[in-house]
Amino acid sequence: MTQLPNSLEARDVAVQLHSYADARKQEETGSLVIDKGEGIYVTDINGKRYIEGMAGLWSVAVGFGEKRLVDAAARQMEKLPYYHTFTYKTHGPSIELAEKLIEMAPVPMSKVYFTNSGSEANDTALKLIWYRSNALGQPERKKVISRVRGYHGVTIASASLTGLPNNHRSFDLPLPQVLHTTSPHYRSQKKDGESEPDFAKRCAQDLEDLILAEGPETIAAFFAEPVMGAGGVIVPPEGYWEAVQPVLKKYGILFVADEVICGFGRTGNMFGTQTYNLQPDIMTLSKALSSSYQPISALLINDDVYQPIADESHKIGVLGHGYTGSGHPVAAAVALENLKIIEERDLVGNVRAMAPLFQKRLAGLAQNPLVVETRGIGLIGAAELHHEALADTPGALGARTNAVFLEKGLISRNMLDAMAFCPPLIITENQINEMFDIAEDSLQGAALL
């Protein structure tokens, strides 16, 4: 990427440290500067248009350039541009959004707590779980379990929950209270001759064995995504959740469903919790909550979680936790309008209507010898590349393929060698075909590199 003096690319290199990037490589190559977006497309500062095959970061459900969200933000900015929810104060948009989320929740929930990102939502969930354990007189019940390849964020606590090595390396993570159990990726973790249902049962047994080894009285909660996102779009094997949930119930362990990616339609239901018949005690939400037009996230807690926390805050005299932007009125107003659009335009119905073609075209990528597996559900999927065939180090083939995708006008994301697809929920049949036509062509190009 050529960087002219004083260009936006050069200025960016001079002043910004980027997430999920090699900082030294960043100095050499610069960044792609996106200038505008419309529908499922974004355009860079040179006028080149791309299909945003990742909906930004798994998040722009209603597409780019949605004027109703712009107008909702402007109206709220004029009326009340900021207020907080500290010390018995609140405002209309946060109340209305909390009411809406309780109404939409697929299982009974008692209260909503607003945060600003999925990481903050999961971080706060962990803090409240520890607070609750103390309130119940169970100070030893502080360990939590998540899964290898799970993704729950990047704060110190949520990055500890994340089960990916690069989120731990050189950060002195994970925290000692966080344990990890088997990844539910059937292809890579199965034993010879092991069926999907048998593998699912073994995952549940591995979880129970870990609980027993640590002591059930020390385990407070289990964090999991209905479908793993950033870990490579890992769809749970047949029978997985039916085997895992009884283990949690058996030992009185709270279940936190991380719906940050799955929530608001991605899997073909409003929540992944519905797709897999989950019964979480806590749900964490973000991304498509506002289509990421504004930073906002939330955690929903049931009454069994809420009551001890309320008692403890009364005993102490305060719940000593909060964020300046929690329930920000502009973000809440945008989220409310975004949820109205999702419902009015039946975007969950569009996911169901488009999913057969999406999944068919995704599966078709497996015809390329570079692809070892495709997997997905609804409008989310991944094509895993066979880096061993080229004697590549893990991630190298994915990075090369991602560069070819970009050159040909498709923004994807390689998670090591898994190429992800997660477009806006408004995508049409013609656009799905356009996206996968580019992907097929790009895979042919990547094979020649």
For residues 272-281, one letter each, b for 16 or more C-beta atoms within 10 angstroms of the residue's C-beta and e for the rest, the string is bbbbbebebb
pLDDT tens, position by position, 37-56: 999 999 999 999 999 999 99
CA distance 47 to 54: 20
Is residue 374 over pLDDT 70? yes
Domain 70-344 matching CATH 3.40.640.10: the answer reads yes
Is residue 423 over pLDDT 80? yes
Q: Average of pLDDT values for 435-448?
A: 86
Q: How confident is the model at residue 283 (pLDDT cuts 50, 70, 90)?
A: very high
Q: What is the pLDDT of residue 393?
A: 84
Taking each helix axis as running N to C, give the angle between helix 118-135 and helix 303-316, from 0 to 180 degrees, rounded to the nearest 10. Answer: 70
Is residue 136 over pLDDT 60? yes
Q: How confident is the model at residue 444 (pLDDT cuts 50, 70, 90)?
A: confident
Helix spans in 153-230 (H) = 156-161, 186-189, 196-214
Residues 6 or more apart in contact with residue 221 via CB below 8 angstroms: 125, 126, 129, 144, 145, 253, 254, 255, 256, 281, 282
Helix, strand, coil content of the chain in percent (nearest 5)? 45, 15, 40
Q: How confident is the model at residue 388 (pLDDT cuts 50, 70, 90)?
A: confident
Q: Which residue has the tokens 């909503």?
A: 112
Q: What is the pLDDT of residue 313?
A: 98
CA distance 33 to 35: 6
- Amino acid (1-letter code) at residue 419: M
CA distance 107 to 280: 8
pLDDT tens, position by position, 99-118: 999 999 999 999 999 999 99
What percentage of the chain exceeds 70 in pLDDT?
A: 97
H or E stretch at 11: helix 8-15
Cα angle 289, 293, 299 (rounded to 5 degrees) comes to 30
190 contacts 226 by C-beta, under 8 angstroms: no
Residues 6 or more apart in contact with residue 437 via CB below 8 angstroms: none
CA distance 420 to 26: 22
225 contacts 183 by C-beta, under 8 angstroms: no
Domain boundaries, the chain: 32-62+346-448, 70-344
CA distance 361 to 421: 11
Q: What is the pLDDT of residue 387?
A: 75
Paired residues of 114 in beta bridges:
298
Is residue 389 over pLDDT 80? no
Q: How confident is the model at residue 6 (pLDDT cuts 50, 70, 90)?
A: confident
Is residue 425 over pLDDT 70? yes
Paired residues of 54 in beta bridges:
none
Q: How confident is the model at residue 445 (pLDDT cuts 50, 70, 90)?
A: confident
Q: What is the pLDDT of residue 142?
A: 98
Q: What is the pLDDT of residue 3?
A: 61
Sheet holding 371-377, edge to edge: 371-377, 380-385, 418-421, 413-415
Higher pLDDT, 121 or 394: 121
Q: Which residue has the tokens 């010898």?
A: 369
Pick from 365, 440, 346, 425: which is nearest to 52 by CA?
A: 425
Q: What is the pLDDT of residue 391?
A: 59
pLDDT tens, position by position, 293-336: 999 999 999 999 999 999 999 999 999 999 999 999 999 999 99
Return the SS3 of 414. Answer: strand
Neighbours of 317 (CB within 10 A): 7
Is residue 32 over pLDDT 80? yes
CATH class, domain 32-62+346-448, is alpha beta
Range with the lowest mean pLDDT among 1-5, 287-291, 311-315, 389-393?
Answer: 1-5
- Amino acid (1-letter code) at residue 33: V
Range with the lowest mean pLDDT among 27-31, 186-190, 421-425, 429-433?
Answer: 27-31
CA distance 229 to 172: 24
240 contacts 203 by C-beta, under 8 angstroms: yes
CA distance 391 to 386: 9
CA distance 90 to 338: 21
H or E stretch at 399: helix 396-407
Quickly count helices (H) and strands (E) in the chain.
16, 15
Tokens of 258: 């991380």
Q: What is the pLDDT of residue 217?
A: 98
Q: What is the pLDDT of residue 1?
A: 54
Q: Which residue has the tokens 């590199």?
A: 449
Tokens of 17: 């440290």
- Global pTM reads 0.96
Is residue 200 over pLDDT 90? yes
Residues 6 or more apart in contact with residue 344 via CB below 8 angstroms: none
Is residue 267 over pLDDT 70? yes
Q: What is the pLDDT of residue 5?
A: 66
